Structure 1
């Protein structure tokens, strides 16, 4: 590293420092950290952009804020002139990444892979400039390997190394089967890095093993080894589990502005700093300032959360939509007003119905017991009036507005 740094001018050294501050901010782990600075320095010295890889098996087409933790870091590299290599695992996607899985994953069909990949492209465009992204499919090289090639590839890694994966160890300990093809997933992901000759690979901390396979195989094939940059996993709205659509604790980047803002306001206070840190486009200095203002009491946590919600909407829908979403939230949730746009439910039942049956029939609550609990907790309103009697009857009229909690509304149409 010393030799490279000694060749740089003061201006170039300053540029290395500037880029390193951006790239290392918010990262969980860099393996190895000293090599990242060398790569950035060489890039500046040789006026050669770095190749930054992000591998995706398109198994879930809806992008949420958890995905943007890595995407935002990719954008930072892109803004500094580096090459983004977006790798769609159309070949590996047919096998499925066993990471974090207690059983083998169901393979994807060609049609599913293509559909999901197209959706990813469209949604990633909200974070990065897709016109400047290199798009690759690993079927370009993996489908051309013959059986001899696969045997040679497998010969470059030991079974003991593969068994270091936590999920494989756990499945063996529990007596659950591991199919032989699952061992080939990290081999193929590592070989992707050989083909792309990437300098850096990004991913979440759950991709630690797979990304290190890239370094392993690049070395085995005589290539310069990539640096692994691992980003923190973002907890969802429940504050416990990793953000996931299957856990229903997510904020999708394609969701409506009002929905995004409302969900953001339910983020646990203790996670606010992490959200500002990982999914907003504020500078490191601005993030630190917000954090200090909340800790000192200068900025109320509620107002900080309003800023977070507004920022999220602004990033994916624009400034005007963010302003309107904030106004809607204030009028409906703070001042108790009824929103202008409410989902309409056509009513064909009896004109007199119990409030419990009404709530279930409108699918605002899943069961009568849930409906009763919500009424007892004073969370149900009919035309703005709170219902406190679980045995109450409702006269159905055209335009009747039913409210459950702070965010669910239905307007009845006869």
Structure 2
């Protein structure tokens, strides 16, 4: 991939583009910063947009510096949030970080990556260091942050701790002497704070590469809180189904941002759809491209076969997890114990939304009692199944 495509495909904005182009032409290896707060253990395909961009820069000879935000994760990034996060315990942060990095290196080359933990520099920060850092920014600058401004205007709480978040992220750039920082468009304020701090301390300010935010399966910004993500750890058949469930309007953006299909081909697909071609066919190819990238081609084909058989032809899957039910139980409890819902409240929401079936019949009441009938099939949505097997034990297999 040439520099022109690296700087334009899957990129929302470059600050300052002319300066970054000059640095790339100079041929000197650059230090590419990307930070993450391990507040959640799973990555989704929206994160992959930025990670793929890092890998492309690595292939041009540059080094990724991955910042593990073991301090900022405990604060929580306030960007786009109308309320404060709950602070996380250090052991939870570290466990999430280990899981995160396993997924991170599915895309980014581990051999060309330097991993740094914030505790290397913040662990020895003194009160004098905090005063020095905060003196570099004004309240006017902080209130330019859209999230902060909206919280104040709506009279929502805004803690002083949250005001520190952009400053801590900015100091990361100073600590590792970053040449370029990468992040989603929602990180623009925080990343620009890094430029300002570096300049204030007499350093050459980092360049900025912002990547677009993907739309999730329900038409909103992809987010764990909306349950509309395509997670990198999802089984192939579930990943395939999630791709097929998203809006047709997202086919082209997904091909551009999360695949290596040539832009010429993508333009031809877009033209074909405008001429009346069925978007489903292109969406199926997109699902195969994505699954091949995070699993392999055989898994992609098997996921497509499963989708055609169980969704398009409406056949039950040949294999499904079995749930042993000892006696009659409320449907809400069964959904949770069978692993088809994360909680009783989620089970009730699924039922209220018409997303639960028992033996092909829609379940309308959360009070329904489920008998331990061998062979009965529970279904949630279009792709999740469990077969009830009567027995003396209640456990979930598969």
- Contact 2:327–2:371 at 8 Å: present in 1 too? no
Q: Does 1:271 align with 2:250?
A: yes
CA distance in 1, matches of 2:80, 2:142: 14
SS at match of 1:265: helix
Count of aligned residue pairs for this structure pair: 379
Query: Does the aligned pair in 2 maintain the 1:121–1:130 contact within 8 Å?
Result: no
Q: Distance in 1 between matches of 2:44 and 2:55?
A: 16
Q: Does the 8 A contact of 1:39 with 1:199 survive in 2?
A: no
Kindly indicate whether residue 274 of structure 2 is the aligned counterpart of residue 288 of structure 1.
Answer: no
The correspondence for 2:66, drawn from 62, 86, 90, is: 86
Aligned twin of 2:389: 413
Change (3 A) 1:349 1:31: same
CA contact (8 A) 2:351 2:363 kept: no
Counterpart for residue 4 of structure 1:
none
- Say whether residues 1:24 and 2:8 are aligned partners: yes
Give TM-score scaled by structure 1 length. Answer: 0.83
Q: Deviation at 1:305?
A: 0.8
Question: Alpha carbons of 1:404 and 1:123: their partners in 2 closer, same or farther (altered >3 Å)?
Answer: closer
Which residue of 2 is the match for residue 40 of structure 1? 24
Q: Is the 8 A contact 2:35 2:66 kept in 1?
A: yes
C-alpha contact 1:71 1:128 (8 A) present in aligned 2: yes
Q: 1:361 to 1:27 in 2, by over 3 A?
A: same
Partner of 1:353: none
Q: Cα offset for 1:165?
A: 0.7
DSSP 3-state at the match of 2:20: helix
- Greater mean deviation of Cα atoms: 192-201 or 105-114: 105-114
Q: Secondary structure of the equivalent of 1:246? A: helix
- Provide the TM-score with structure 2 as the length reference: 0.86
Deviation at 1:221, TM superposition (A): 1.5
Q: In 2, Cα distance between the equivalents of 1:322 and 1:83?
A: 31
Map 1:138-157 onto structure 2 (within 5 A). 138-157=118-137
Of 68, 71, 95, the match for 2:48? 68
In the TM superposition, 1:200-211 aligns within 5 A as 200-211=180-191
Alignment of structure 1 residues 45-64 onto 2, 5 Å: 48-64=28-44
The aligned runs of 1:322-337 (5 Å cut-off) are: 322-337=300-315
Q: What secondary structure is seen at the aligned counterpart in 1 of 2:85?
A: coil
Q: Residue 349 and residue 111 in structure 1: after superposition, are their counterparts in 2 closer, same or farther (change >3 A)?
A: closer
Within the alignment, does 1:109 sit opposite 2:89 as a pair? yes
Q: Once the 2 structures are TM-superposed, how far is the Cα of residue 253 of structure 1 from its aligned partner?
A: 0.7
Distance 2:357 2:234 in 1: 25
In the other structure, the counterpart of 1:77 is 57
Q: For residue 258 of structure 1, what is the aligned residue in structure 2?
A: 237
How far residue 172 of structure 1 moved from its aligned partner, in angstroms, is 1.6
Change (3 A) 1:52 1:284: farther
Deviation at 1:411, TM superposition (A): 1.9
CA distance in 2: counterparts of 1:114 and 1:132, whole angstroms:
22
Match of 1:312 among 290, 296, 302: 290
* Farther-moved stretch of structure 1 (250-259 vs 186-195): 186-195
Find the counterpart in structure 2 of residue 354 from structure 1. none
Q: Secondary structure of the equivalent of 2:387? A: strand
Bigger mean CA deviation after superposition, 280-289 or 202-211: 280-289
Deviation at 1:370, TM superposition (A): 4.2
Deviation for aligned residue 1:408: 3.7
- Which of 117, 121, 138 is 1:137 aligned to? 117
1:181 partnered with 2:161: yes
Equivalent residue number for residue 9 of structure 1: none
In structure 2, the gaps of 5 or more residues are: 342-346, 391-398
Matched with 1:6 is none
Q: 1:396 to 1:68 in 2, by over 3 A?
A: same
After TM superposition, the structure 1 = structure 2 runs for residues 205-220 of structure 1, keeping only pairs within 5 Å, are 205-220=185-200
Q: Which runs of 5+ in 1 are unaligned?
A: 1-14, 351-356
TM-superposed CA distance for 1:395, in Å, is 9.2
8 Å CA contact retained: 2:75, 2:85? yes
Query: What is residue 10 of structure 1 aligned with on the other side?
Result: none
Deviations 1:216-241 (A, max 9, x none): 0111111111111111111111012x
How far the C-alpha of 1:399 sits from its partner, in A, is: 2.6
CA separation of 1:251 and 1:405: change in aligned 2, threshold 3 A: closer
Cα distance in 1 between the residues matched to 2:175 and 2:363: 68
> Structure 1 residues 381 and 118, CA, compared in 2 at 3 Å: closer, same or farther?
closer
SS in 2 for 1:30: strand
Q: CA deviation at 1:168?
A: 1.3
Residue in structure 2 matching 1:124, options 84, 104, 118: 104
